[in-house]
């Protein structure tokens, strides 16, 4: 097991965390709500606009997972600085490399949780770098950042051995959500046959869902949506991640179709229960967790 760096005071927030400790991050929690989105400082008029259009973005509006050690391989110093700072603020440790060769050497040397690799790098191209790592048996999850966002570029990236692909420009919340999911995937709950969050239960083999012992009937797509959310319970999943992983679409559907699917699912699993499980994370996405303790 890799020793987790603890340079910053971070309160990991999982199912077993002490509720009292959460008070240490009141701001972050303020964004986590049930059915309605609540904005701590927004004026009323902005809230109305936000309800119609996409919710505006706020950086890391959720409690981060356990601290991760990340490697950012990016030749643009400004971008690398911004990412390093942003990751540190949410309690992760980020190292930097400014070219492909340096990045490769670091990635071979140090057991990182996730690599964030720019596609176009001096000395050694991002795809090559990941290819060489994989050839040497290094399985550290890698996410490619690229200005090329087209479908076949993404396919090329994934074929080269990367685990996720995010095109520039991106919101930090989107990157953070994806990185946390990637980091957790190692030794995560991917192989469990039954997912449980609070009193909600999903059986992946019999395709049954129940809450508080009462069976819930879901459409196949709703089942897959819930399955994905529960697989990443306690983690934020963005709308794009849902669209990519549940529907296998990589385009921008303009209108927020995902929100409607979520609210349908929510009405099936949360309606009539005092503790909501499916939360909207303002400006980022959704999270399922037993949070009302």
List residues near other proteins by CB under 8 A. Answer: 41-43, 46, 49, 53-54, 56-58, 149-152, 155, 169, 221, 247, 249-255, 257, 260-261, 264
- Least separation in angstroms between residue 234's CB and other proteins is 26
Q: 170 with 176: CB under 8 angstroms?
A: no
Residue whose CB is less far from other proteins, 113 or 174: 174
Q: 141 with 26: CB under 8 angstroms?
A: no
Residue whose CB is less far from other proteins, 45 or 193: 45
Residue whose CB is less far from other proteins, 199 or 259: 259
- Least separation in angstroms between residue 291's CB and other proteins is 25
Residue whose CB is less far from other proteins, 110 or 267: 267
97: closest CA among 79, 111, 87?
79
Residue whose CB is less far from other proteins, 247 or 273: 247
- Least separation in angstroms between residue 51's CB and other proteins is 13
| CB atoms inside a 10 Å sphere around CB 71 | 22
Q: 119 with 107: CB under 8 angstroms?
A: no
Residue whose CB is less far from other proteins, 13 or 246: 246
List the beta bridge partners of residue 214.
Answer: 211
Helix orientation angle between 77-89 and 172-185, rounded to the nearest 10 degrees: 70
- Least separation in angstroms between residue 41's CB and other proteins is 5
122: closest CA among 168, 169, 76, 70?
76
DSSP 49-67: HHHHSPPPP-SS-S---S-
- Least separation in angstroms between residue 137's CB and other proteins is 30
Q: Tell me the C-alpha to C-alpha distance, in Å, between residue 142 and each of 29, 51, 106, 115, 265.
A: 29, 35, 13, 5, 31
Q: What is the DSSP letter of 42?
A: -
Q: How far apart are the first and last CA of the chain?
A: 31
- Least separation in angstroms between residue 210's CB and other proteins is 23
């Amino acid at each position: 097991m890799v020793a987790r760096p603890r340079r910053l005071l971070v309160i990991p927030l999982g199912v077993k965390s002490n509720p009292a400790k959460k008070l240490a991050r009141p701001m972050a929690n303020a964004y986590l709500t049930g059915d309605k989105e609540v904005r701590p400082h927004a004026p009323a008029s902005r809230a109305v606009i936000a309800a119609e259009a996409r919710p505006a973005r706020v950086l890391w509006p959720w409690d981060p997972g356990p601290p991760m050690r990340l490697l950012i391989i990016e030749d643009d110093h400004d971008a690398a600085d911004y990412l390093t700072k942003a990751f540190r603020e949410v309690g992760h440790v980020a190292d930097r490399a400014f070219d492909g060769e340096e990045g490769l050497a670091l990635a071979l040397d140090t057991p990182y949780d996730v690599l964030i690799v720019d596609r176009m790098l001096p000395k050694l191209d991002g795809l090559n770098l990941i290819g060489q790592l994989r050839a040497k048996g290094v399985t550290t999850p890698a996410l490619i950042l690229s200005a090329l966002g087209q479908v076949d570029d993404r396919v090329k990236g994934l074929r080269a051995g990367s685990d996720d692909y995010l095109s520039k420009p991106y919101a930090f919340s989107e990157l953070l959500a994806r990185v946390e999911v990637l980091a957790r995937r190692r030794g995560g709950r991917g192989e469990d046959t039954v997912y449980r969050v609070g009193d909600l239960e999903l059986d992946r083999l019999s395709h049954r869902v129940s809450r508080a012992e009462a069976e819930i009937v879901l459409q196949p797509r709703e089942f897959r949506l819930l399955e994905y959310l529960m697989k990443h319970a306690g983690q934020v999943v963005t709308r794009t991640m849902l669209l990519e992983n549940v529907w296998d679409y990589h385009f921008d559907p303009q209108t927020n179709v995902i929100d409607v699917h979520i609210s349908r699912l929510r009405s099936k699993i949360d309606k009539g229960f005092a503790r909501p499980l499916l939360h909207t994370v303002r400006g980022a996405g959704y999270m399922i967790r037993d949070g009302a303790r």
